[in-house]
Amino acid sequence: MQPDLVIHGAGIFGLSIAWEATRRGARVIVADPHGVGAGASGGVVGALAPHVPENWNEKKAFQLSSLLMAGAFWAGAEEASGLPSGYARTGRLQPLADDAAVTLARQRCEGARALWQGEAVWTVRPAQGGWEPPSPTGLLVEDTLSGRIQPRMALAALAGAIRAKGGRITDEAESTPAIWATGAAGLHDLSAALGRNVGTSIKGQALVLRHEARTLPQLFVDGLHIVPHADGTVAIGSTTERDVQDLGTDHQLDALHEKAVAALPVLADAPVVERWAGLRPRARSRAPMLGAWPDRPGHFIANGGFKIGFGMAPKVAQVMVDLVLEGRDAIPGGFRVSDS
C-alpha cells in the first residue's frame, strides 16, 4: 500500500490522528518500533478532566471542544473495532477546603454556565457520604464534563479501528507527508534538531487497585486523581517528578497510595494489581505542540500531551488531519512548535 500519510508513534496522539485520517478515507501507516502504547500512553490513570471555567483562553476552549467530541470519537472507534475503550463521562467530585474555596467555586459555576455551552455543569453541593472524599466545609464541587478512559483498552480500540478500515500498524515506515507523534523521546530529538529546548520528559508513577466502582465519578483530592474504571479497578495517580533517578516505582508511589486511602478509606483493603511508572512528554509551553516541523518540508509534529493527552486527542486528531491532508490550519495560538 502506498500511504497518503505515515504517522510515527503508536501512542494516543499517533493512533488518534491515524483513526481520524482513516475514517476520512486516507491510506495510513502507523510506525512504531516498540508497538502500541509502549510509552506514557500505555499508563493507567485515564482522567479526562477540564480546566477550570475561568480566565478563558484558546487552550481551554480547545480542550472543551475535545472533551465534548469524546463520546462520538470513542463510540466510532469501538464500533469499527468491536472493542471497548473504557470511555464514560462519569463526572468528578472535589472537596472544598475553606470559605475562600467555596466562594471561588461558586464563581466558577457562573463561568461554566457562560463557557460550557450548556453541555455540562459545574455545581457546588453538600457532601452526601459514600463515594466521596472528606470535605472540611461539608461541600463539594461536582462537574459533569469530566470523563474517564481506560488507556490500554482505548489504544487497542483505536488500533483495531485503524486496521478494520485498512490502515497498517508496523515497526517502521518511510514516506511523506509524515507526522511525528513520538512522545518523550521525540521531544528530545526535536530539541536537538532545532538547537533549543522545546520540552522535556517528566516521570509519573501511578497504581491500580481492585475495587468495583465503575459507575461512580472520579475524585480529585489535593492534586490526586482517583479514577474508577470499567474493568472493576480504580486508578490512583500520579506523581510529577522532574529529578529522575530511575524509571522504576518507589516510595513516592507508596505515599500516593497512603494519600488515596486517607482520602477514601473504602480503598484501604483494595488489593494493588499494578504499579506503573513512565516518562510523559511536556512541551515548554505546557500545551500540546502541533504543526509543521520547521525547515523540514512534509513533516509535522504532534507531541506534548503530558497529563492531558487523552482528553485532547479527539481535537488534536481533527486539526492535524485538517492541516496535513486538507491544508486547513486551525491550530490555536500557543500550540505551535514555534511557541515552545
Please write the tens of the pLDDT for every residue from 8-49: 999 999 999 999 999 999 999 999 999 999 999 999 999 999
CA-to-CA distance for 208 and 265, rounded, in angstroms? 16
| Alpha helical stretches, state H, the chain | 12-23, 58-81, 99-115, 151-164, 183-194, 251-263, 309-326
Please write the tens of the pLDDT for every residue from 200-258: 999 999 999 999 999 999 999 989 999 999 999 999 999 999 888 788 999 999 999 99
CA-to-CA distance for 156 and 320, rounded, in angstroms? 21
Q: Is the pLDDT of residue 1 over 70?
A: no
CB atoms within 10 A of CB 297: 8
Q: Is the pLDDT of residue 199 over 90?
A: yes
pLDDT (mean) for 287-308: 94
Predicted pLDDT at 2:
86
Amino acid (1-letter code) at residue 135: S
Is the domain covering 5-89+146-197+284-339 a CATH 1.20.58.220 domain?
no
Predicted pLDDT at 85:
98
Q: Which residues of 135-172 are buried (b: 16+ CB within 10 A; e: fewer)?
A: bebebbbbbbbbbbbbbbbbbbbbbbbbeebebbbeee
Q: Spell out the domain ranges in the chain.
A: 5-89+146-197+284-339
Decide: 71 and 89 in contact? Cβ < 8 Å. Answer: yes
Predicted pLDDT at 158:
98
Predicted pLDDT at 231:
96
Predicted pLDDT at 249:
93
CA-to-CA distance for 331 and 319, rounded, in angstroms? 6
Predicted pLDDT at 49:
95
What is the SS3 assignment for 13? Answer: helix
Please write the tens of the pLDDT for every residue from 102-158: 999 999 999 999 999 899 999 999 999 899 999 999 999 999 999 999 999 999 999
Predicted pLDDT at 214:
96
Dihedral sign from CA coordinates of 183, 54, 137, 92: negative
Dihedral sign from CA coordinates of 68, 71, 77, 80: negative
